[in-house]
């Protein structure tokens, strides 16, 4: 039986800019075979959108909660959606 595919939209709060967070997320997204992107937000958050199987996204979410060594993750807000299938291999986008 094929596992359910989902789309995850996460906002990561804390000390998450200027500490290698986007590259950390990018590496894990690529290594887990996810489609999606990560970008800094002007409000100090990091925004992540990813699509993949529910179990892989859950593993990815745990990595977001940990963050790289220099980061301090205070909160990760997550919304779940049906996948759209319009995402490319994982990438880093410009700040928005």
CATH of the domain at 26: 3.30.70.100
| Active-site residue, from 7, 31, 40, 58 | 40
| Active-site residue, from 7, 22, 39, 43 | 22
Is 43 a catalytic site residue?
Answer: no
Q: What is the mean pLDDT of residues 56-81?
A: 97
**For residue 38, what pLDDT is reported?**
99
Largest CA distance in the chain: 42
On the question of pLDDT at 94 being above 80, the answer is yes
What percentage of the chain reaches a pLDDT higher than 90? 96
Is 22 a catalytic site residue?
Answer: yes
Please state at what angle helix 54-66 crosses helix 21-31, rounded to 10 degrees: 160
| Total tally of structural domains belonging to the chain | 1
Structure confidence at residue 3 as a pLDDT band (50, 70, 90): confident
Q: What is the mean pLDDT of residues 24-41?
A: 98
**For residue 2, what pLDDT is reported?**
67
Q: 35 is in which domain, residue-wise?
A: 5-92
């Amino acid at each position: 039986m094929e596992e359910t595919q989902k789309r995850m939209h996460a906002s990561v709060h804390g000390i998450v800019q200027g500490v290698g967070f986007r590259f950390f997320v990018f590496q894990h997204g690529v290594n887990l075979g996810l489609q999606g992107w990560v970008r800094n937000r002007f409000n100090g958050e990091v925004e992540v959108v990813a699509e993949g199987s529910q179990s892989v996204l859950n593993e990815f979410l745990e990595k977001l909660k940990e963050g790289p060594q220099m980061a301090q993750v205070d909160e990760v807000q997550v919304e779940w959606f049906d996948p759209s299938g319009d995402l490319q291999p994982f990438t880093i986008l410009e700040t928005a």
